[in-house]
Every structure is written in structure tokens, then in C-alpha cells.
Amino acid sequence: MSVSGVAKLLSNKVYAGVVEWSGVEYPGQHEPLVDAATFQKVQDLLEARSVRGTRECRHNHYLKGVLYCGVCGRALSCQLSKGRYLYSYCLGQKSARYPTGCRERYIAADILEDEVVKLYRRVQLPDGWLERLEEDLEAEVIARQSRSSAERELATRRLAKLETQKRKLLDAYYAGAIDVPMLKAEQDRLGQEIRACQSSLVGLDANLQEWQEVLRTAMRYNRPGPIGQETE
């Protein structure tokens, strides 16, 4: 299956339980394969990728985009040699538009990783700072969790109200109280508001999870011990 075929598949509202006829959306009688919030999150990701025009990198590495050349200041990229060996190099060497004339040699990715590990071991926080940081981050996560719960409750009530309005709109159409143009216009308006509520709920969960991950990562990387390994 092609990439465009996968994108078309992921954008099909039928899998979220919605069918469309003559430009009007109806709730399908079939069982959805995905919930509305997950479907909307996928649409947001597809739209974001489309706007930025990004493409997946063929040779990815977790340090790519993080390290910069100490000679010319350009970012370091990766290149696979002979299909087996991964090297890092300065983009200033190969850039056709912005060459820097940098002549720094290529360096094996595993050697570069070891040097980064040594660097991080030298910049660990003192014990006193670490304890205070942990307390402050935990307090911040608790405060954000409280605010997130209140915002989630409001967004959930709003979403339920919009879904009710959407059902009443179809009832009015079936009863002959409104015509197709008005139905489509109202469906579009309600659809936009529903998607906004769903995105808000997804964002609240993601924001809290990110802060919790920040706390775990901060503690893991600043405790004595091997870099990248969690301590008990």
C-alpha cells in the first residue's frame, strides 16, 4: 500500500462511525473501529505533517538535531556507510546552499554517543539541588493535574451538549423542520466545535503526561549511576 493510500485510509470517517451522503454526515449503524478522539488526533497529526511538508528521515538517530559542529556551528547529521556503519558529519561540508567549508572528519556514531555520555556525567546536579528540583516538579505536576481535571470536566460537559445538539439537528431534518442546506451548515458548525473539544481533551491528557515524563526524566538523568538507566 502506498503512503498516500494509508493517509486516505486514516482520513476515512467511516472507521469512526460516520457516513456521508450528498455532503451530509450521518451516524452510521455499524460499530466504529476507532473512537472519535483518537480519529481526530490522527487528523491533527496528518494535517501538521502536511503543513510542514516533513518527511521521515531514512537514517534517524536520537542525537540527530541535538549536536552541532564545534568548528563552524552547523548541525551534525548522520550517514550510513556500506549499509552497516553509521557516521555523524557536519552539514557545513555537504550543504549546497550554505556551505561553511568545514573539514572536520566524520566520526562513528557509537564514539559520539560515548562522548555525550561522558559529558552528561560531568553536569549532574548536586544532591541538594536534586532534592529541591524533585519537590518543585512534583508540586507543579500536582497543580497542573488539578487544573487539568477541572478543564477536562468542562470540556466533557461541552462535548456531551454538542453531541446532543447534533442528534436533535438530525431529528429536526427527519421531521422536515429544516432543509438540507441548513442541516449541512449546522453540521459543519457543530463539527468544528466538537473537534475543538476533542482536541482540547487530547491536549489536556498529553500535557499532563509530558509533565510527568519531565519529572521522571529529570530524576533519572540526575541521579548517580549509568546514564540512561533508571535507579531503584
Helix (H) or strand (E) run with residue 216 in it: helix 180-222
pLDDT band at 161 (very low <50, low <70, confident <90, very high): very high
Q: If you count DSSP H runs as helices and E runs as strands, how many of each does the chain have, helices first? A: 5, 5
d(CA 41, CA 37): 6
Q: Residues 144, 146, 151, 157: is their CA dihedral positive or negative?
A: positive
* pLDDT at site 162: 92
Q: pLDDT tens digits, residue range 207-218?
A: 667 777 776 776
Is pTM beyond 0.75? Reply is no
